[in-house]
């Protein structure tokens, strides 16, 4: 069962808004066999140009669901976010099912998915900023590289740090400029 943490910026979260958000976001629970004990962090924002932005983050044990949408209508933004979360869940469940079939010997792993040596894309001349503007702390979860790519895509990030389940070392997957994925493994 999801617990809701609904916060409004420049908007008062009324009982009607709260009930609508809980009803709509609660739709994703149908994708779970066992209802997880998780919190849905919902942030509602309204802007001076009369648009509304809805952000939803649901951290689960092995995946973080996150979506955000902006539209002229708050309720419309909630609907769009829920649609995006449902697509993410369907994609995640499909990938997990494929992975399970593959591990049973049904389908081989595509060796072209990962790039072992990516020295061509390193640009030493690019100057890096020296001031850190944001710090994040995270706990690395054991998973394989394919699951890390899925997690990265679901979060909408260009890279993802994870603990490799086979080697127990820290690894990074990243999206290359050509649209393919790269993997950095540590010793």
The structural domains of the chain, with segments of one domain joined by +, span 2-103, 111-116+136-185
**pTM (global) more than 0.75:** no
Picking from 134, 185, 133, the residue whose alpha carbon sits closest to that of residue 161 is 185
Which helix or strand (DSSP H or E) is residue 22 part of?
helix 15-25
Fold designation for 2-103: Double Stranded RNA Binding Domain (3.30.160)
**Rounded average pLDDT over 67-83:** 90
181: buried, middle or exposed (CB in 10 Å: 19+, 13-18, 0-12)? buried
Residue 122: what pLDDT?
A: 37
- Of the listed ranges 12-21, 32-41, 51-60, the least confidently predicted one is 32-41
Q: Is the pLDDT of residue 145 over 90?
A: no
Separation of alpha carbons 43 and 37, rounded Å: 20
Q: What would the two tokens of residue 100 be?
A: 């399970």
Whether residue 102 has pLDDT greater than 90: no
Helices (H) and strands (E) in the chain, counts: 3, 8
Same CATH topology for 2-103 and 111-116+136-185?
no
* Vertex 135 angle, CA 119 and 137, to 5°: 90
CATH number assigned to the domain covering 111-116+136-185? 3.30.505.50
Higher-pLDDT residue of 68, 130: 68
Question: pLDDT confidence of 111, banded at 50, 70, 90?
Answer: very low
- The mean pLDDT value of the chain amounts to 77
Element of type H or E holding 47? none
């Amino acid at each position: 069962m999801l617990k809701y943490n609904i916060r409004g910026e420049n908007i008062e979260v009324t009982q009607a808004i709260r009930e609508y958000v809980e009803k709509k976001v609660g739709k994703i629970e149908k994708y779970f066999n066992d209802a997880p004990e998780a919190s849905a962090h919902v942030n509602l924002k309204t802007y001076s140009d009369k648009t509304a932005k809805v952000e939803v983050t649901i951290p689960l044990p092995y995946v973080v669901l996150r979506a955000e949408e902006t539209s002229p209508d708050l309720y419309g933004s909630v609907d769009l976010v829920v649609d995006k979360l449902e697509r993410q869940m369907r994609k995640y469940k499909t990938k997990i099912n494929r992975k399970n079939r593959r591990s049973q010997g049904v389908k081989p792993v595509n060796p072209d998915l990962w790039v072992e040596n990516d020295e061509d894309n390193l640009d030493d001349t690019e100057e890096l900023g020296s001031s850190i503007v944001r710090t994040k702390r995270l706990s690395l979860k054991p998973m394989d590289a394919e699951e890390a790519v899925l997690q990265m895509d679901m979060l909408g990030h260009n890279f993802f740090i994870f603990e490799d389940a086979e080697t127990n070392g820290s690894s990074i997957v990243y999206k290359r400029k050509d649209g393919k994925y790269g993997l950095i493994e540590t010793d």
